[in-house]
Amino acid sequence: MTSLGQNLKIDGDRLWDSLMEMAKIGPGVAGGNNRQTLTDEDGEGRALFQKWCEEASCTMGLDQMGNMFAVRAGTDPDALPVYVGSHLDTQPTGGKYDGVLGVLAGLELIRSLNDMNIKTKHPIVATNFTNEEGTRYAPAMLSSGVFAGIHTQDWAYEREDAEGKKFGDELKRIGWRGEEEVGARKMHAFFELHIEQGPILEAEGKDIGVVTHGQGLSWTQVTITGKDAHTGSTPMPMRRNAGLAMARILETVDEIAWSHAPHAVGAAGHIDVYPNSRNVIPGKVVFTVDFRSPDLDVITDMENQLRDKGSQIAEAMGVGIEFEKVGGFDPVAFDQSCVGAVRDAADRLGYSHLDIISGAGHDACWINRVAPTAMVMCPCVDGLSHNEAEEISKDWAEAGANVLFHAVVETAEIVE
């Protein structure tokens, strides 16, 4: 019987080669990736993942949100599977590792179990969740959210991208809408390996993040309505400048986040200006304010301050303003026994580690609602992510995947 000793390791070269191979699909313009959800490039990435999983003797399940489940059989057909995975979709200026590392590390641990001819009582399922990023279709973590019963599938199918294309139509168009009922699969546990996307682990010189919690997230879409007018001939007192109102509100967003230092954060990443013409005062702007904090009361206060102060600014400037909550989730506490399995694995393998709160949202944050869940993190260079220059070391990838391997296999129970 193979014990969970130091020799139980993944093949770091093979994992790295798979990461580099996947990165060739949907390349960005500066060395990263633009493989947005439900694009043809997403379809290509899915096909490559499916090919690799079948080569690893997995059977692939596909549900009605396009979530992919590569199943490695266990010895006990009645035992609930241990799921392991993340997402293959990227930001428009994304890196090669955000999400992808977690999906391919799940595949790599299956490949390694095959190499060592190790059997587990519980099946193990390598997973790819559709549209984690929420960049083309808001909100983020849409499909793991449907899987966990947070959103209805009908609502998800109706989400529209900037060109008015619906999620359900695009999923069918790329040929990755499965037949399985979403959420019908029950999990013994779920583990996700992800790059930190922040600076803490690298700054502290730690190989592994043991993720105890995930901070909460709030997305508020703000629409400001002023009046299109000529930038040259319209006197200043007559202007109803939606763009200027947005600028003042974004300054306020920054002040609101700083008012809850050191943990709260706030910014707007999505901004649409209409008509976006050099010599027209913007008559309308639409932007999304992203607030985050480990403390739910702080998130609620930031949302309330945005509405109060934003409304005052709009009234003083004679423009209209509307607020719509378009995404969010409460702070998450991961399952203590799964977190313990991650921490024990890091200790057993001799990796330095640090308990950490995830600054970014992940599919694990929703799956935590329906199954015991934990995350493993590895550092990333300068804490940079959602940027094509996102980078990790091969050693960091290997260490994270080894800890994931041990946590998953310990939970899936080696049989022989």
**Chain contacts with ligand HGY (rule: CB under 6 A):** 132-134, 140, 360-361
The minimum distance between CB 77 and Mn ion, in angstroms, equals 33
Contact 332, 282 (CB under 8 A): no
Which whole-number Å values give the CA distances from 237 to 229, 317, 404, in the listed order?
12, 10, 61
Separation between Cα atoms, residue 340 and residue 88, nearest integer Å: 27
Q: Which does 294 bind (CB under 5 to 8 A by kind): ligand HGY, Mn ion, none?
A: none
CB nearer ligand HGY, residue 197 or residue 411: 197
Q: Which does 99 bind (CB under 5 to 8 A by kind): Mn ion, ligand HGY, none?
A: Mn ion
Burial 228-246, CB ≥16 within 10 A → b, else e: ebeeeebeeeebbbbbbbb
CA atoms within 13 A on the CB side of 80: 13
The minimum distance between CB 364 and ligand HGY, in angstroms, equals 11
Closest by CA to 104, choosing from 91, 92, 87, is 87
Which bin fits 131, alpha (ψ -120 to 50), beta or left (φ > 0)?
Answer: left
CB nearer ligand HGY, residue 32 or residue 134: 134
Closest by CA to 82, choosing from 398, 362, 413, is 413
Q: Which does 390 bind (CB under 5 to 8 A by kind): ligand HGY, Mn ion, none?
A: none
CB nearer ligand HGY, residue 111 or residue 362: 362
CB nearer ligand HGY, residue 81 or residue 139: 139
The minimum distance between CB 134 and ligand HGY, in angstroms, equals 6
The minimum distance between CB 281 and ligand HGY, in angstroms, equals 32
The minimum distance between CB 400 and ligand HGY, in angstroms, equals 17
Residue type at 65 in one-letter notation = M
Task: Please give the residue ranges that form the binding site for Mn ion (CB under 5 A).
Answer: 98-99
CB nearer ligand HGY, residue 360 or residue 374: 360
Cα 406 to the chain's mean position, in Å? 23
Burial 95-130, CB ≥16 within 10 A → b, else e: bbbbbbbbbbbbbbbbbbbeeeebbbebbbbbbbbb
Q: Which does 134 bind (CB under 5 to 8 A by kind): Mn ion, ligand HGY, none?
A: ligand HGY
The minimum distance between CB 135 and Mn ion, in angstroms, equals 8
Q: What is the CA radius of gyration of the chain?
A: 22
CB nearer Mn ion, residue 98 or residue 303: 98
The minimum distance between CB 219 and ligand HGY, in angstroms, equals 9
Closest by CA to 334, choosing from 360, 366, 306, 381, is 366
265 Cβ neighbours under 8 A, 6+ residues apart: 257, 290, 291, 292, 293, 359
Separation between Cα atoms, residue 67 and residue 65, nearest integer Å: 6
Q: Which does 88 bind (CB under 5 to 8 A by kind): ligand HGY, Mn ion, none?
A: none
Report the length, in residues, of the chain: 416
Q: Which does 226 bind (CB under 5 to 8 A by kind): ligand HGY, Mn ion, none?
A: none
Q: Which does 63 bind (CB under 5 to 8 A by kind): Mn ion, ligand HGY, none?
A: none
CB nearer ligand HGY, residue 140 or residue 289: 140
φ, ψ of residue 346 in degrees (nearest 5): -65, -40
CB nearer ligand HGY, residue 123 or residue 361: 361
Q: Which does 105 bind (CB under 5 to 8 A by kind): ligand HGY, Mn ion, none?
A: none
If you search the block for the tokens 């299109």, which residue do you land on?
228
The minimum distance between CB 201 and ligand HGY, in angstroms, equals 17
Q: Which does 140 bind (CB under 5 to 8 A by kind): ligand HGY, Mn ion, none?
A: ligand HGY
Q: Which does 123 bind (CB under 5 to 8 A by kind): ligand HGY, Mn ion, none?
A: none
Q: Where are the beta strands (DSSP E) in 14-67?
A: 59-62
CB nearer ligand HGY, residue 140 or residue 156: 140
CB nearer ligand HGY, residue 197 or residue 402: 197
Closest by CA to 118, choosing from 11, 4, 15, is 4
Q: CB nearest Mn ion: which residue?
A: 99
The minimum distance between CB 184 and Mn ion, in angstroms, equals 25
The minimum distance between CB 150 and Mn ion, in angstroms, equals 17
Separation between Cα atoms, residue 266 and residue 102, nearest integer Å: 27
